[in-house]
Amino acid sequence: MDPQYIRNFSIIAHIDHGKSTLADQLLLKTGAITEREFHNQILDDLDVERERGITVKARTVALNYKHTDGQMYELNLIDTPGHVDFHYEVNRSLAACEGALLLVDAFQGVQAQTVANAYAAIEVDLEIITVVNKIDLPVTRIDDVLEEVETILGLDPYEALKVSAKKGTNIEDVFQAIVEKVPPPSGKVDNPLTALIFDAKYDPFRGVIVYVRVVEGTLKKGDPVRFMRKAFSDEVIEVGQFRPKGEPCKTLSAGQVGYIITGQKQLDHIDIGDTITHPKEAELITPLPGYQKPKQMVFCGMYPIDSKDFEKLRDELGRLSLNDSSFSFAPETSDALGFGFRCGFLGMLHMEIVQQRLEKEQDVDLIQTAPNVSYEIKMRNGDVVKIDNPQDVPDAGSIDEFREPIARVNFIVPKEHIGSIMQLCAERRGEYRTTEFIGGDRARLEYDLPLAEIVYDMYDKLKSITQGYGTMDYEVQRMEPAELVKMDILVNAERVDALATIVHRTTADRRGRGLCKKLKEEISKHQFQIPIQAAIGGKVIARETISALRKNVTAKCYGGDITRKRKLLEKQKEGKKRMKQFGRVEIPQKAFLSVLSAGEE
């Protein structure tokens, strides 16, 4: 197709501002889906997306739109997630586009992720079309919202479109704006092939399905192709586009978005951000810049409940990391849990989604250890070591400096909650930077906070304090020295490596006591007494004791000589001593996650 009649655009917004509903409305108006399918949020096809009502993966779909002048256009739409943990998905999608629809809620206005996504689109020089959605709400504040668009984002409020994705109001205006404002792709059909891999997924029958944006040249079935980063060649057995399901087509030309299948089943051969070309033209082209590698911020251990499932878990993690390149994993072992993997995520929601996809979609039963962030340690010999597992923290005597990641956090909250947010940040070692009032009733607060204090439950606390109206966005800025220590947990005098955690020295006593109390609640009674201790180095800072399960061994003794009862009790006492010496304590899954809520009371 002639590139001048192609438009590639993305939909970006804060969570729950109606991205998927607008995407479905665009599909409905162009005949890609039926009225019945419209209500199903057809692009959110993962089970976890349906259950949670959020978009987790970016989706692409090609639409045929007939303009009022009679010309047929191909509109390639990419629907993106809104949560801060999936910002990497948004950045990947924007790299395959020339324009973006920026959705703003007609009541909630500009939120934290609206700002982050708008700046991401501006950075890659996209044409931004502002769309005020949900104008059908019984209560709206459209004039205030347009003022926020101008003051916070610096975009022209007079060009903003006012639509209702749910009711289908003014959707034709959106199509007109896409055709008229989004520039066509700059690539030429006659140039040597250059295509960007922006996503991929694994199909057990067909191999890896590679999502591509063709920048220059053409690509068709039977073409030999070279993956430049991995330096291997293959033959295309199918090319196609998503409409919204995959449909084979004859060719993909410059400016078009679609998929190719080569039958490749080696997952490590495909690299997101790689450049595809024809083998004969490989020396004529410069590889595309691709993407920056995402930096995982949260790490946890994932272990199969049944050790026989270790290989299955490895295969499923490999397939998942192909479809989600912001997730990483590496094998590790634990004395308590056996063989498993250390997994890296962009945030807590990202971690929950991956765990849920493994357990529900792939049917893998997991034990997950408490998550932690990545730290840096400067040793006395001058070496700098990166630590993403508390077990790897070296002896305190060899540490010169313990550094933690500091994030710049933007809160947008109703002004009556400013004091509560400031108190929350002060409790979590936050450093205040600025306050800026937005419109009449909201404010933007900026803080520097340790990442460890953000990722666990900051989002939930924020929503609780502000009755759901507060939003936040964060970006890691630097590593900073802090008084951090490794806190070990001993159960029945044995260190449980999977329960070790890194804490700030000032909160260690409180966290230790809280964790011991939680573990006492979670671990069931045994036939012997179980001491639970929190220790820093060789010093125990907190202790709780689970009393022994008592069985009445003298129940059958009615009256008679008291020495008979004493003999039975002494025999029981000796048996419990032996059991304590050889017995192992069973620690349930809940206990490993109790590290999160410890010390919050």
Q: Give the model confidence (pLDDT) of 144-167 as tens digits.
A: 889 988 888 888 888 899 999 888
Q: Which residues of 392-402 are buried (b: 16+ CB within 10 A; e: fewer)?
A: ebeeeeebeeb
Q: What's the chain's length in residues?
A: 601
Q: What percent of the chain has pLDDT over 70?
A: 86
What pLDDT score does 127 carry?
A: 92
To the nearest 10°, report the CA torsion of 133, 134, 139, 140: 10
pLDDT-derived band at 46, boundaries 50, 70, 90: low
Q: Hey, is 152 helix, strand or coil?
A: helix
What pLDDT score does 572 carry?
A: 66
Among the ranges given (80-84, 433-437, 499-503), the one the predictor scored with the smallest mean pLDDT: 80-84
CB 98 within 8 A of CB 126: yes
CB 481 within 8 A of CB 401: yes
Among the ranges given (220-234, 421-435, 560-574), the one the predictor scored with the smallest mean pLDDT: 560-574
What is the rounded distance in angstroms from the CA atom of residue 223 to the CA atom of residue 220?
6
Nearest alpha-carbon partner for 597 in 501, 494, 530:
501
pLDDT-derived band at 599, boundaries 50, 70, 90: very low
Determine if residue 324 is labeled as part of a ligand binding site.
no
Checking if the pLDDT of 582 tops 50, the result is no
What is the rounded distance in angstroms from the CA atom of residue 284 to the CA atom of residue 147?
49
Query: Cβ atoms within 10 A of the Cβ of 436, count?
Result: 13
Phi, psi of 467 (to 5 degrees): 55, 35
Checking if the pLDDT of 82 tops 90, the result is no
Q: Which domains does the chain have, with CATH numbers?
A: 3-181 (3.40.50.300), 194-281 (2.40.30.10), 298-370 (3.30.70.870), 376-481 (3.30.70.240), 485-597 (3.30.70.2570)
What pLDDT score does 197 carry?
A: 85
What is the rounded distance in angstroms from the CA atom of residue 83 to the CA atom of residue 87?
7
pLDDT-derived band at 48, boundaries 50, 70, 90: low
What phi-psi label fits residue 570: left (phi over 0), alpha (psi between -120 and 50 degrees) or beta? alpha
Determine if residue 133 is labeled as part of a ligand binding site.
yes
Determine if residue 136 is labeled as part of a ligand binding site.
yes
Sign of the dihedral through C-alpha 467, 473, 476, 478: negative
- Residue 397 CB partners (closer than 8 Å, separation 6+): none
Determine if residue 18 is labeled as part of a ligand binding site.
yes
Determine if residue 21 is labeled as part of a ligand binding site.
yes
Decide: residue 418, CB within 10 A, 0-12 exposed, 13-18 middle, 19+ buried.
Answer: middle
Determine if residue 16 is labeled as part of a ligand binding site.
yes
Q: What number is the average pLDDT over the span 96-107?
A: 89
What pLDDT score does 79 carry?
A: 66
What is the rounded distance in angstroms from the CA atom of residue 21 to the CA atom of residue 427?
39
What pLDDT score does 601 carry?
A: 46
Q: Hey, is 38 helix, strand or coil?
A: helix
Q: Give the model confidence (pLDDT) of 449-495 as tens digits.
A: 998 888 777 877 888 888 777 888 888 888 999 998 888 888 888 88
Mean pLDDT of the chain: 82
What pLDDT score does 432 carry?
A: 93
DSSP code string of 361-405? IS---EEEPPPEE-EEEEETTS-EEEESSGGG---GGGEEEEEEE
Checking if the pLDDT of 540 tops 80, the result is yes
Determine if residue 135 is labeled as part of a ligand binding site.
yes
Q: What number is the average pLDDT over the span 539-553?
A: 80
Element (H, E) at 66: strand 59-66
Query: Cβ atoms within 10 A of the Cβ of 186, count?
Result: 11
Q: What distances in angstroms separate CA 496 from CA 147, 221, 336, 367, 469, one per listed residue?
A: 55, 55, 6, 14, 40
Report the chain's C-alpha Rg in angstroms: 28
To the nearest 10°, report the CA torsion of 474, 477, 481, 484: 30
CB 351 within 8 A of CB 372: no
Element (H, E) at 427: helix 418-427
DSSP code string of 232-298? EEEE--EEEEESSSEEE-SEEETT-EEEEE-----GGG--TT-EEE-GGGTTTSPPP---PPP---E
What pLDDT score does 438 carry?
A: 80
Nearest alpha-carbon partner for 96 in 56, 64, 133, 58:
58
Q: What distances in angstroms separate CA 336 from CA 48, 487, 536, one per listed residue?
A: 30, 17, 20
What is the rounded distance in angstroms from the CA atom of residue 95 to the CA atom of residue 291?
8
Determine if residue 134 is labeled as part of a ligand binding site.
yes
pLDDT-derived band at 412, boundaries 50, 70, 90: confident
Nearest alpha-carbon partner for 260 in 291, 302, 202, 220:
220
Amino acid at 459: Y
* Alpha carbon 309 to its chain's center: 25
Nearest alpha-carbon partner for 75 in 27, 125, 120, 141:
27
What pLDDT score does 462 carry?
A: 85
What is the rounded distance in angstroms from the CA atom of residue 94 to the CA atom of residue 507?
42
Nearest alpha-carbon partner for 476 in 376, 377, 390, 393:
376
CB 527 within 8 A of CB 549: yes
CB 445 within 8 A of CB 411: yes
What is the rounded distance in angstroms from the CA atom of residue 175 to the CA atom of residue 32?
15
What is the rounded distance in angstroms from the CA atom of residue 409 to the CA atom of residue 475?
7
Q: Give the model confidence (pLDDT) of 328-375 as tens digits.
A: 888 888 777 788 888 888 777 788 888 888 887 777 788 888 788 889
Q: How many helices (H) and strands (E) does the chain have?
A: 15, 32
Q: What is the DSSP letter of 164?
A: B
Phi, psi of 534 (to 5 degrees): -110, 130
What pLDDT score does 558 carry?
A: 65
What's the whole-model pTM score?
A: 0.72
